[in-house]
Chain A
Amino acid sequence: MVDEVKVAEKTEKLESLRKIDDNLRLPSVPERIAFPKEIGVSAARMQTPAVGQRATRPDGRMHGLGQTKYIDDMFFPGMIHAKIKRAGIAHAKIKSIDVSEAEKMPGVMATLIGSEIPVNSFGPSLQDQPLLADDVVRHAGDGVAAVAAVTEQQALDALDKIKIEYEELPNVFDPVEAMKENAYKIHNNESNVYATKTIMKGDVEKGFADSNFIFERTFTTQMVEHVPMEPHASIGQWDANGRVTLHSSLGRITLGRADIARTLELPINRVRVIATIVGGNFGGKNEITTEPIIALLSKKTGRPVKCVFTREDEFISSTTRHPFVMEYKTGMSKEGKIMARKVRLICDGGAYCSWSETTLGKACILSAGPYNIENLHVDAYAVYTTKTMTGAMRGFGAPQVCFAYESHMDDMAAELGIEPLEIRLQNAFNEGSASPTGQVLEAVVVRDSLEMATERFGWKEWQR
Chain B
Amino acid sequence: MTDIALIVNGENKTVSVPPETTLLKMLRENLNYTGSKLGCDVGDCGACTVLVDGLAVNACLILAAQAEGKEVLTIEGLSTLEKYHPIQKAFEDVAALQCGFCGPGMIMATKALIDQDQDLTKQEIKDALSGNLCRCTGYTKIIEGVVDAYQEITGKKIPATKPRVA
Using a CB–CB cutoff of 8 Å, the interface residues on chain A facing chain B are 23-27, 30-37, 39, 42-44, 54-57, 59-70, 72-73, 75, 153, 226-231, 277-282, 308, 310-311, 457-458, 461-462
The listed residue with most B CB atoms (<10 A of its CB), out of A30, A56, A282, is A56
Instruction: From the candidates A23, A67, A278, name the one contacting B99 in the complex (CB within 8 A).
Output: A278
Q: Tell me whether A279 and B97 are in contact (CB under 8 A).
A: no
Query: Which residues in B have their C-beta under 8 angstroms from that of A32?
Result: 9, 11, 76, 81
Q: Is B58 an interface residue (CB 8 A)?
A: no
Q: Tell me whether A229 and B79 are in contact (CB under 8 A).
A: no
CB distance from A285 to the nearest CB of B (A): 11
CB distance from A316 to the nearest CB of B (A): 14
Q: Is B39 an interface residue (CB 8 A)?
A: yes
Q: Is B107 an interface residue (CB 8 A)?
A: yes
Residue of B nearest to A153 (CB): B20
Interface on chain A toward B: helix, strand, loop, or mixed SS? loop
Q: Tell me whether A229 and B99 are in contact (CB under 8 A).
A: yes
Given contacts A63-B97, A68-B100, A280-B101, contact A23 B37 (CB under 8 A): no
Query: Which residues in B have their C-beta under 8 angstroms from that of A69?
Result: 34
Query: Which residues in B have their C-beta under 8 angstroms from that of A54?
Result: 93-95
Using a CB–CB cutoff of 8 Å, the interface residues on chain B facing chain A are 1, 3, 9, 11, 13-16, 18, 20, 28-42, 45, 47, 74-84, 88-89, 91-104, 107, 133-136, 165-166
Q: How far is the CA of A43 from the CA of B95 in the complex (A)?
A: 12
Q: Tell me whether B9 and A34 are in contact (CB under 8 A).
A: yes
Q: Tell me whether A24 and B74 are in contact (CB under 8 A).
A: no
Residue of A nearest to B165 (CB): A458
Q: How far is the CA of A135 from the CA of B20 in the complex (A)?
A: 37
Number of residue pairs across A and B with beta carbons under 8 Å? 160
Further pairs besides A26-B15, A229-B135: 13, Cβ < 8 Å: A24-B1, A31-B31, A56-B92, A60-B97, A63-B103, A64-B91, A66-B103, A67-B76, A70-B37, A229-B102, A230-B37, A279-B100, A311-B41
Interface on chain B toward A: helix, strand, loop, or mixed SS? loop
Query: Which residues in B have their C-beta under 8 angstroms from that of A23?
Result: 1, 3, 16
Given contacts A66-B76, A231-B39, contact A39 B84 (CB under 8 A): yes
Q: Tell me whether B100 and A60 are in contact (CB under 8 A).
A: yes
The listed residue with most A CB atoms (<10 A of its CB), out of B11, B32, B84, B101, is B101
Instruction: From the candidates B33, B76, B95, B134, name the one contacting A57 in the complex (CB within 8 A).
Output: B95
A to B CB contacts below 8 Å, 26 in the list: A27-B14, A31-B76, A32-B81, A34-B76, A34-B80, A35-B79, A35-B81, A44-B94, A57-B95, A59-B100, A60-B97, A64-B89, A64-B103, A65-B76, A65-B78, A66-B103, A72-B37, A153-B18, A229-B37, A229-B39, A229-B101, A229-B133, A230-B99, A280-B136, A311-B42, A458-B165
Q: How far is the CA of A176 from the CA of B129 in the complex (A)?
A: 42
Query: Which residues in B have their C-beta under 8 angstroms from that of A75?
Result: 29
Q: How far is the CA of A64 from the CA of B84 in the complex (A)?
A: 11
Instruction: From the candidates A31, A56, A59, name the one contacting B93 in the complex (CB within 8 A).
Output: A56
Given contacts A36-B81, A229-B133, contact A66 B74 (CB under 8 A): yes
Instruction: From the candidates A27, A37, A43, A311, name the one contacting B39 in the complex (CB within 8 A).
Output: A311
Q: How far is the CA of A66 from the CA of B77 in the complex (A)?
A: 10
Q: Tell me whether B104 and A280 are in contact (CB under 8 A).
A: no
Q: Tell me whether B39 and A64 are in contact (CB under 8 A).
A: no
Instruction: From the candidates B75, B98, B165, name the one contacting A66 in the complex (CB within 8 A).
Output: B75
Q: Tell me whether A26 and B30 are in contact (CB under 8 A).
A: yes
Q: How far is the CA of A75 from the CA of B34 in the complex (A)?
A: 10
Query: Which residues in A have their C-beta under 8 angstroms from that of B34?
Result: 66, 69, 72-73
